[in-house]
Amino acid sequence: MPPAVIVDHDADWPLRARHLLAGVRWALAPLPGADGFAYEHIGSTAVPGLGAKPIVDLQVRLPDLPSLARLTELLASTPFVPAHGSRPDSPGVYRDSRRPGDEADDSAYEKRLFHSPEEGAILHVRRADSPFARFVVDFRDWLRSHPEQARRYEEIKRGLAAEHAGGPDYDDYTRAKTAFFDEIGPQLRSWAAGS
């Protein structure tokens, strides 16, 4: 996988996200309850003005996770294919990490991960009751509401990207950002509870 490279915000990212999510929505329409699924643009590319890796992160939240085979079959009409990590315990591939204070059952952290190298996009399929699915939406919205923290987060990401450029393990960059998440966690939880 290529090193993490942070680029300036691109106003086309939200447009790409809407286009890709429309295709995913159409592809998942045969699933029971599909009208109630949440289709979301998440991650740094969803925060106006925030520099990011030029990869659009998308999320679908649904009550139950279909098998990887079933989702792969349904998403065949889209550019998304199953994603695999650089090693068996790559963070965020088959399950999300428990955040401090989360109390959900382990099964709530299971996920299905797809990507489209051609489109520069990642699709996270998570259960609706996943605490991590809620966290990424809350974090996105918190950054949108706190531009000074968004700027700080961008500075941290640029520093970590430079630090881990050319490193043997691509996931070191991802894991290194956890320190920021842990630091702002209490403030984020408080803000999310009141909004």
Each residue's pLDDT, cut to its tens digit, for the chain (195 residues) gives 455 689 999 999 999 999 999 999 999 999 999 999 999 999 999 999 999 999 999 999 999 999 999 999 999 999 999 998 777 667 678 899 888 888 899 999 999 999 999 999 999 999 999 999 999 999 999 999 999 999 999 999 999 988 888 777 666 777 778 889 999 999 999 999 997
**Which residues are 114's β-sheet partners?**
82, 123
Ramachandran class of 49: left when φ > 0, alpha when ψ lies in -120 to 50, beta otherwise: left
Pairing between β-strand 111-116 and β-strand 121-127 as defined by DSSP bridges: antiparallel
Mind giving me the DSSP string for 14-50?
HHHHHHHHHHHHHHHTTSTTGGG-EEEEESGGGSTT-
What predicted TM-score, i.e. pTM, was given to this entire model?
A: 0.92
Helix (DSSP H) and strand (DSSP E) numbers for the chain:
6, 5
Cα distance between residue 53 and residue 147, in whole Å = 18
Domains and CATH numbers, the chain: 13-194 (3.30.460.10)
Residue 160 is classified by DSSP as: H
